[in-house]
Chains A and B, each alone.
Chain A
Amino acid sequence: MSDPADLTIAAAGAKLRSGELSSVDLTEAVLERARMSESHLHAYLTLDQTGAREKATAADAALAAGDDRGPLHGIPIALKDNMCTKGIETTASSQILAGWIPPYDATVVSRLQAAGSVLVGKTNLDEFAMGSSTENSAYGATRNPWNTDTVPGGSSGGSAAAVATGSALAALGSDTGGSIRQPAALCGVVGVKPTYGLVSRYGLIAFASSLDQIGPFTRSVEDSAVLLEAIAGHDIHDATSIRGEIPNFRGSLHHGVAGLKIGVIKELSGPEIDPEVRTSVSKMHDALADAGAEVTEVSLPSCEYGLSAYYLIAPAECSANLARFDGVRFGLRSEGATTEEMMAATRAEGFGPEVIRRILLGTYALSAGYYDAFYGQAQRVRTLIRQQFAAAYEGVDVLVAPTSPTTAFEIGAKTDDPIAMYYADVCTIPINLTGDPGASIPIGLDSADLPIGYQVMAPSLGEERMFQVAQAVEDIANFTARAPLATSEVVSP
Chain B
Amino acid sequence: MTDYEAVIGIETHVELMTDSKMFCGCPVKFGEPPNTTTCPVCLGLPGALPVPNSEAIEGILQIGTALGCQVADTSFFHRKNYFYPDLPKNYQISQYDVPICHDGEIQVEVDGEDTKIGITRVHMEEDTGKSIHVGGGGRIHDAEYSLLDFNRSGVPLVEIVTEPDIRSAEQARAYGAELQRIVRTLGVSDARLEEGSMRFDANVSIRPAGAAELGTRAEVKNVNSLRSLQRAVAFEIHRQIELVESGGVVVQETRHWNEDSGKTTSMRSKEESEDYRYFQEPDLVPIEVSAAWRDAVREALPELPAARRARYQGLGVDARVAAVLVGSEDAIGDLFEGAMNAGGDGRLIGNWLSGEAVAWSRAEEVAIGDTPLVPAHLVELAEMVGDSTLSASAAKQVLAGVLAGEGTPGEVAESRDLIQISDSSVIEAEVDAVLAGHADAVASIQAGDNKPFGFLVGQVMRATGGKADPKQVSDLIRAKTGG
Contacts and interface: CB of A to CB of B under 8 A. Distances in A.
Is there any pair of Cβ atoms, one from A and one from B, under 8 angstroms apart in the complex?
yes
Interface of A: 82-84, 90, 92, 97, 100, 102-104, 106, 201-206, 208-210, 236-240, 316-317, 319-320, 323-326, 328-330, 339-340, 343, 363, 366-368, 371, 375
Interface in B31-64: 39-40, 43-52
Given A240-B283, A367-B275, A326 B47 contact: no
B270 interface: no
B85 A205 contact: no
Interface string B279-290: 100111100000
B91 A329 contact: no
A324 B44 contact: yes
B199 interface: no
B277 interface: yes
Nearest to A96: B46
Interface in B62-104: 79, 81, 83, 85, 88-91
A323 B285 CA distance: 21
A316 B285 contact: no
Contacts of A363: 277
Given A239-B285, A323-B91, A324-B90, A83 B47 contact: yes
24 contacts: A102-B45, A104-B48, A202-B48, A203-B47, A203-B48, A205-B46, A206-B47, A210-B282, A239-B49, A239-B51, A240-B284, A317-B279, A320-B90, A320-B277, A323-B81, A324-B46, A326-B85, A326-B90, A330-B45, A330-B46, A343-B85, A366-B278, A371-B279, A375-B279
B279 A84 contact: no
Residue from the set A83, A84, A324, A367 with the largest chain B CB neighbour count within 10 Å: A324
Contacts of B48: 104, 202-203
Contacts of A210: 282
Contacts of A92: 46
A329 B285 contact: no
B166 to A, nearest CB: 29
Interface size class of B (residues with CB under 8 A): 20 to 34
A368 B48 CA distance: 28
B452 to A, nearest CB: 82
Given A201-B49, A202-B49, A203-B47, A366 B89 contact: no
Given A319-B277, A366-B277, A368-B277, 14 more contacts: A84-B46, A100-B46, A104-B39, A106-B47, A237-B49, A237-B51, A238-B51, A320-B279, A323-B83, A324-B44, A326-B85, A329-B43, A329-B44, A371-B279
B315 interface: no
A328 B147 CA distance: 10
A240 B286 CA distance: 10
Given A97-B46, A339-B146, A239 B52 contact: yes
Contact of B45 (A82, A104, A320, A366): A104
A316 B275 contact: no
Contacts of A371: 277, 279
Contacts of A367: 275, 277
B148 interface: yes
Nearest to A201: B49
A324 B88 CA distance: 6
A211 to B, nearest CB: 8
Contacts of A204: 47
A83 B49 CA distance: 13
A316 B45 contact: no
Nearest to B43: A329
A205 B44 CA distance: 11
Nearest to A238: B49
A203 B47 CA distance: 4
A368 B81 CA distance: 12
Contacts of A330: 45-46
A317 B88 contact: no
Contacts of A368: 275, 277
A205 B89 contact: no
Interface of B: 39-40, 43-52, 79, 81, 83, 85, 88-91, 146, 148, 150, 275, 277-279, 282-285
A20 to B, nearest CB: 38
Contacts of A103: 40, 45
Contacts of B146: 339
A350 to B, nearest CB: 12
Given A323-B91, A366-B81, A236 B47 contact: no
Contacts of A238: 49, 51
B49 A339 contact: no
A206 B89 CA distance: 12
Contacts of A319: 81, 277
Contact of A316 (B39, B91, B279, B284): B279
A91 to B, nearest CB: 10
Contacts of B89: 320, 323-324
A92 B148 CA distance: 26
Nearest to A323: B90
Contacts of A343: 83, 85
A202 B48 CA distance: 6
A129 B127 CA distance: 30
Nearest to A316: B279
B392 to A, nearest CB: 63
A202 B279 contact: no
Nearest to A104: B40
A324 B148 CA distance: 15
A328 B91 contact: no
Nearest to B83: A343
A317 B81 contact: no
A320 B81 CA distance: 7
Contacts of A203: 47-48
Contacts of B49: 201-202, 237-239
Residue from the set B43, B52, B279, B284 with the largest chain A CB neighbour count within 10 Å: B279
A306 to B, nearest CB: 18
List of 10 A-B pairs having minimum Cβ-Cβ separation, nearest first: A323-B90, A210-B282, A209-B282, A366-B277, A203-B47, A205-B46, A324-B44, A84-B47, A239-B51, A324-B89
Contacts of B44: 324, 329
Contact of B47 (A205, A339, A340): A205
Contacts of B43: 329
B47 A317 contact: no
B361 to A, nearest CB: 48
A320 B91 contact: yes
A356 to B, nearest CB: 16
Residue from the set A202, A371, A375 with the largest chain B CB neighbour count within 10 Å: A202
Contacts of A97: 46
Contacts of A324: 44-46, 88-90
B83 A320 contact: no
Contacts of B90: 320, 323-324, 326
Nearest to B41: A237
A104 to B, nearest CB: 5
A85 to B, nearest CB: 10
Contact of B46 (A102, A328, A339, A366): A102
Contacts of A100: 46
Nearest to A84: B47
B88 to A, nearest CB: 6
Nearest to B273: A368
A339 B85 contact: yes
Contacts of A106: 47
Contacts of B91: 320, 323
A341 B395 CA distance: 71
Residue from the set B45, B88, B146 with the largest chain A CB neighbour count within 10 Å: B45
A239 B284 contact: yes
Contacts of B148: 328-329
B175 to A, nearest CB: 31
